[in-house]
Amino acid sequence: MTDHSHSAHDSASLPDDLPPVQPPSAGFIVQLFVVPALIVLAVVAVWAMFGRIAAGEQDWHLLVQELESPNPHVHRRAMFGLAQLLDTDRRLEQDGQHLASNPEIATALTKLLEKQLQSPNADEETLSSQVYLTRAMGLIDLPEAAIPVLSKALDDQYDIEVRKGAVTSIALIAGRAMERGTPVSGPVADALIDLSQDSDPTLKRAAAFALGLVDSPEAKDRLQVLLQDTGDPMTAINAAIALSRSDSTAGYHVFVSALTASKPQKSAEAEQDRLLILKNTLKAVGDLAAKFTPEQRAELLKLVIQLAEEDAETRVRVDARAAEAALSAVN
């Protein structure tokens, strides 16, 4: 009885305004369950990321070893895998492993390309490997390892696609070296000069472009000759642009011709060539604005303004406006 009376008394003494019991809010549930789950997921993601990095580090070691395999299927698979790994790593930029400057990878690819170039069999499989390797070498950032073998691949004993791949990779490697302030020099200039005399216009054009990325007086002398190539405007344009990288305005007359003769083309390929020529010409004109004589600037400014106002392509008008601004800014 006593217990019941106390209980009744306590109940009677409780205030009537106690806050009602509320069910847990959605936000609270999120805090209890979702947030810890996200933390777990983050931990798992970090673990997976490091796992992938570790796997990547193992992959390139394994691929380098497999490049030396006598089994053609194994070393071809390794060749493709290593090129893909190099490309992926480059896209990661600062977060990558900087495989492009890894001596082991550069040496392995160089040795394989050397071996492929020496192969007496000119079958389709050998040719495809040569082409692929010459292009894959463009991903390497060790010129001293890559450039010599690529220079050999420029020789006219090899298929034209092999030679195209080699000159393209030389240009890529030399271009990045120039950006780093360590331009490529040496015998590669002689190989490119020889290539610039080839009867195939695509090789001449590529050689003219690459010669501008090589630190060589002989390369610059050859570019002066290529400026006069009236048979292929693209070669002359590439030579003028190549010389502009060393602040030379020797290609002035080529720039004027390119800007004067620029008219929209009917075929898609010809129009693409026109747009490429204009893009590179307008950039070179803008970069050299302060180097031209007042008379040259006046002539170029007139042509650039006409393009900026009249060309049907928006991208041409934008590039022309940029060149106009650069020319107009020179006092």
Q: How far is the C-alpha of 84 from the C-alpha of 281, rounded, in Å?
A: 33
> From CA 72, how far away is CA 146, in angstroms rounded?
22
Q: Identity (one letter) of the amino acid at 62?
A: L
Structural domain span for residue 287: 250-331
Going by C-alpha positions, the residue among 244, 254, 184 that lies closest to residue 214 is 184
Identify the pLDDT of residue 26: 42
CB atoms within 10 A of CB 142: 17
Asked whether the beta carbons of 323 and 282 are under 8 A apart, the reply is yes
Contact in structure between 178 and 204 (CB atoms under 8 Å): no
Domain membership flag for residue 206: no
The reported pLDDT for the residue numbered 324 is 95
Amino acid at 32: L
Give the model's pLDDT for residue 120. 64
User: Per-residue confidence of the chain (331 residues) as pLDDT tens digits?
Assistant: 444 444 444 444 444 443 444 444 444 334 433 444 444 444 444 334 433 433 444 488 888 888 888 888 887 888 888 888 888 888 888 888 898 999 999 999 999 899 889 876 678 888 888 999 999 999 999 999 999 999 999 999 999 999 999 999 999 999 999 999 999 999 999 999 999 999 999 999 999 999 999 999 999 999 999 999 878 888 999 999 999 999 999 999 999 999 987 777 778 888 888 888 899 999 999 999 999 999 999 999 999 999 999 988 899 999 999 999 999 999 7
Tell me the CA distances in angstroms from 204 to 30, 156, 208, 311, one per residue in order. 66, 13, 6, 29
Q: Is residue 295 part of a domain?
A: yes
> How is residue 75 written in tokens?
């070393």
In this structure, is residue 156 part of a structural domain? Answer: no
Tell whether 316 is covered by a domain.
yes
Supply the angle between the helices 143-152 and 160-179 in degrees, to the nearest 10.
150
Q: Report if residue 258 sits inside a domain.
A: yes
Q: Is residue 30 part of a domain?
A: no
**Domain for residue 293, yes or no?**
yes
pTM for the predicted model, two decimal places = 0.76
The pLDDT value recorded for residue 32 is 39
Tell me if 127 sits within 8 A of 159, measured CB to CB.
Answer: yes
Helix (H, G, I), strand (E, B) or coil at 214: strand
For residue 10 the two structure tokens come to 């306590």
In a domain, 43, yes or no: no
- 3-state DSSP assignment of residue 247: coil
The number of distinct structural domains making up the chain is 1
Burial string for 220-252 (b: 16+ CB within 10 Å, else e) reads bebbeebbebeeebbbbbbbbbbbbeeebbebb
Residue 283 CB-density burial (10 A; 0-12 exposed, 13-18 middle, 19+ buried) = middle
